[in-house]
Amino acid sequence: MAVEHNMQSSTIVDVLEKVLDKGVVIAGDITVGIADIELITIKIRLIVASVDKAKEIGLDWWESDPYLSSKAIDHNTKAIEQENKELRERLQALENKLETK
Amino acid sequence: MGELLYLYACVPSKEMTTLPDLTGFDGEGKLHTIQAGAITAVICSLNAEDYNEDVLKDKVENDMQWLQEKAFHHHETVLALSKLYTVIPLKFSTIYKSEDSLKQTLTENGSKMNDIFDLLTGNEEWNLKIYCDDQMLKEQISKSNPVIEQKRQEISQLSKGKQFFELKKLDKLVETELEEEKNRVSERVHEALKKLVLKGNVKRTWSSEVTGADKKMTWNSVYLISKEDVERFLEEVQSYDQEMKETGWQLEASGPWPAYHFSSFQT
């Protein structure tokens, strides 16, 4: 549809092309030239695409690996807490059963 | 070693208000401004050891993740500024070694920049992309084009062996017709839209390798549009899109973008 401004692949390319290739060139003391915008864009798009793809097929393990992501630590702690709670409840239930015998 | 100044954009000094709280290129510092007469530069400071020329060159060439992140940072910063001020967006990674050197550059380019500000004030940059379903259009062409129809008739009279080669030739003809038709239609849309805008430039289309999209991009153009005409422009694009959808066309407008395509000048 017309009039959209989201992160579709074309927008990624748009941003890269504009930022790396367009924009006013005035002499800086340091300017980093980028030789082949098309090649760079393809390389970057592949990274972006592979991250999206990986998420799609569930290959986003790095997001839950505490060594790779700070977000994951939080997530893991919660999961362990939940498991602890469930185990405690099961233990309680078993003890109750034993007592009633 | 000291400090470097990363330049994002230039803004007319008379429009400057208190800069919003924006994070710098290194993810830590804040943006600030330096004024040189009528031009105000929006910058951030960088540690000269971490961001010297060699480091930047190496990153740009070898660390695509970094480049993507920083390119988006640059863009998002300029975009945020362009919502508040008339903005001349700078190219990625324009860096100065001192305030004096930045000021000098601004002063040298001052009158040209003022001309650009005049051009941009009150206007927005929009991008139009036209896509087309080649297969669908090809079918229409081979049906409706009398030359092709006649050729096909002729070929059907030939022997099997000859048919093979003649059909190959016919395919080529259809391909050529297809490209011409795509250009004709896109150009017609472009010319019609140009009546609503201040400036319109045609850009290179991207290969599907670049976009990663299945559909073929047939047209890519940018427009500088007066703010009050933007709605009409978008309505027009939308009505073309609706009208041409059934024949395999798709029109996509995006914006407003910082005026990356209308800010350039010769230094």
- Give contacts of A50 with chain B, Cβ < 8 Å: none
* Residue A4 shares a structural domain with residue A47: yes
Please check whether residue A26 lies inside any domain of the structure. no
Task: Considering only residues B66 and A40, tell me which one the structure prediction assigns the higher pLDDT.
Answer: B66
Question: Which residues of chain A neighbour B234 with C-beta distances below 8 Å?
Answer: 2-3
Lowest-confidence region among A82-86, B85-89, B235-239: A82-86
Q: pTM here?
A: 0.78
Where in the sequence is the domain holding A55, given as residue range(s)?
1-20+34-59
Averaged pLDDT, B178-182 = 92
Q: Do A9 and A38 sit in the same domain of this protein?
A: yes
- Average pLDDT score over chain B: 91
Angle between helices B99-108 and B110-120 (to 10 degrees): 70
Task: Give the separation between CA B65 and CA B8, rounded to whole angstroms.
Answer: 20
Nearest CA of chain B to the CA of A78: how many Å? 29
Contacting B with CB below 8 Å, chain A residues are 1-5, 9-16, 18-32, 34, 38, 40-45, 47-49
Q: How far is A46 from B211, CA to CA, in rounded Å?
A: 10
Alpha helices in B94-159 (DSSP H): 99-108, 110-120, 134-144, 146-156
Q: Do the Cβ atoms of B90 and A10 come within 8 Å?
A: no
Would you state the structure tokens that stand for residue B200, as one six-digit string? Answer: 């319109």
Is residue A1 very low, low, confident or very high in pLDDT (cuts 50, 70, 90)?
very low
pLDDT tens by residue, B20-45: 999 999 999 999 999 999 999 999 99
User: Same structural domain for residues A51 and A92?
Assistant: no
Contacts of A21 in chain B (CB under 8 A): 91
CA atoms within 13 A on the CB side of B39: 26
Q: Give contacts of B110 with chain A, Cβ < 8 Å.
A: none
High-pLDDT (> 90) share of chain B, %: 69
Name the closest residue on chain A to residue B262, using Cα atoms.
A23
Q: What tokens were used for B203?
A: 């850009």
Q: What is the pLDDT of residues A21-37, one digit of tens each?
A: 887 777 788 878 777 77
Same domain flag for A67 and A85: yes
| Alpha helix stretches (DSSP H) within chain B | 53-62, 64-82, 99-108, 110-120, 134-144, 146-156, 160-194, 208-211, 230-245
Residues A78 and A97 in one domain: yes
Contacts of A32 in chain B (CB under 8 A): 53, 56-57, 60, 92-93
Residue A25 lies in a domain: no
Q: What pLDDT was estimated at residue B7?
A: 96
In a domain, A69, yes or no: yes
pLDDT at position B197: 97
The CA-based diameter of chain B, rounded to the nearest angstrom, is 82
| Band (A55; pLDDT cuts 50, 70, 90) | low
pLDDT reported for residue A59: 52
Are residues A13 and A48 part of one domain?
yes
Would you give the end-to-end CA distance of chain B in angstroms? Answer: 30
Residue B260: pLDDT above 80?
yes
Burial of B94-104, coded b for 16+ CB within 10 Å and e otherwise, reads: bbbbeeeebbe
Q: Which chain B residue shows the shortest CA-CA distance from A51?
A: B65
Disruptive mutation site among B7, B11, B67 for chain A (greatest number of A CBs within 10 Å): B67
Is residue A28 situated within a structural domain? no
> pLDDT tier at A4 (50, 70, 90 boundaries)?
very low
Instruction: Tell me the mean pLDDT in the region B127-139.
Output: 91
H/E segment holding residue B132: strand B123-132
| Same domain (yes/no): A67, A89 | yes
A18 and B260 within 8 Å at the Cβ level: the answer is yes
pLDDT value for B199: 95
Residues A48 and A14 in one domain: yes
Of A1, A18, A44, the CB nearest to B68: A44
Kindly indicate the confidence band of residue A67, based on its pLDDT and cuts at 50, 70 and 90.
very low
Same domain for A97 and A70: yes
Predicted ipTM of the assembly: 0.76
Could you state, in order of their start, the residue ranges of all structural domains in chain B? 3-121, 124-257
Q: Which residues of B touch A48 (CB under 8 A)?
A: 68
At B225 the pLDDT is 97
pLDDT at B4: 94
Element (H, E) at B129: strand B123-132
Instruction: Give pLDDT, residue B204.
Output: 85
Under an 8 A CB cutoff, do B96 and A5 touch?
A: no
Does A100 lie in the same domain as A71? yes
Q: How far is residue B238's CA from residue B224's CA, in Å, rounded to a whole number? A: 18
CB atoms within 10 A of CB B191: 10
Pair (A73, A52) in one structural domain: no
- Count how many domains chain A has: 2
Q: Which of A13, A24, A47 sits opposite B89 (nearest CB)?
A: A24
Produce one character per residue of B230-249: b if its CB has 16 or more CB atoms within 10 Å, e if not.
beebbebbeebbeebeeebb
DSSP B75-99: HHHHHHHHTTS--EEEEEEEEES-H
A55 lies in the same domain as A70: no
Asked if the Cβ–Cβ distance from A19 to B252 is below 8 Å, we say no
